[in-house]
Structure 1
Amino acid sequence: MSNFELLGQWEITEAWLREASSWIVVNSDSAKNGLNNFKEYLSHNELELALDELAEVAMNFPQSHRFWDSMCQAAASMKLDERSNAFATQWAATRGV
């Protein structure tokens, strides 16, 4: 993969992560701290750590199916198939909610 292609893939992944973060329900200091950590990881182009941080916040507070869909897409974009499948399961579980 060329540097140009890699940069494009990072931008796609970052967009999915930002989309997911926009759906986070912030209802505690813990969630706020998690989002701050997420932003810090993004600023250093640590996309997998940013994904992990959002997943951690989501495990402590119920999130919408839109959040899980974005997380699934972000993980798939990074070729993290196992996590993408886990997020897809969460998406399916919350879709009717």
Structure 2
Amino acid sequence: MATPELLRSWKRTEAFLRDARTHLSQIAKAEFANSIAQFEEFIEHNELGLAFDTLESIANESEWESQRVIELLALAAASMGLQDRQRVLDEQLSSLKGWRHETSLPAEDC
């Protein structure tokens, strides 16, 4: 049985991933419709790692994604403890913003 802490972590991660999905560009939503449907299946089955991989792939392949999508993916990576993936996303954000970006979860979510 999952602990209350783990359930909160899953819920937080799912929220970051769903939010990232809603921020995808209209072009990505059309171009990657099959991948987005697959993402939804992964979310429904609590396969958060696979859902993350799918969205990250869409963001990397699409040329139209906003900075917010990357920020939310970095938060999801932090929530899942994927430090290496978070660092890569933080480097992307640093490049986009022109200053050093380091993702951290909100204090109440740590």
TM-score by length of 2: 0.79
- The two structures, once aligned, show a CA RMSD in angstroms of 1.6
Work out which of the two has the higher radius of gyration on C-alpha atoms and give 1 or 2: 2
Does the Cα contact within 8 Å between 1:51 and 1:71 map onto a contact in 2?
yes
Residue in 2 aligned with 1:9?
9
Does the Cα contact within 8 Å between 1:23 and 1:67 map onto a contact in 2?
yes
Q: CA deviation at 1:92?
A: 2.4
Q: Select the structure with the greater relative contact order (CA < 8 A; seq sep ≥ 6).
A: 1
Distance in 2 (CA, whole Å) between partners of 1:51 and 1:88 is 15
Larger mean Cα displacement after TM superposition, 73-82 or 60-69? 60-69
Does the Cα contact within 8 Å between 1:64 and 1:95 map onto a contact in 2?
no
Q: CA deviation at 1:7?
A: 0.3
Q: Where do 4+ consecutive residues of structure 1 move more than 6 Å?
A: none
TM-score by length of 1: 0.88
Identical-residue share of aligned pairs (%):
35
- Count of matched residue positions in the alignment of Structure 1 and Structure 2: 95
Structure 2 gaps, min length 5:
99-110
Larger mean Cα displacement after TM superposition, 40-49 or 56-65? 56-65
CA displacement 1:33-88 (0-9 Å, x = unmatched): 11111101000000000000001111111211101000000000000000011111
What one-letter code is carried by the residue in structure 1 that aligns with 2:14?
E
Distance in 1 (CA, whole Å) between partners of 2:22 and 2:90 is 18
Structure 1 gaps, min length 5:
none
The 5-angstrom pairing of residues 18-97 of structure 1 reads 18-27=18-27, 29-62=30-63, 63-95=65-97
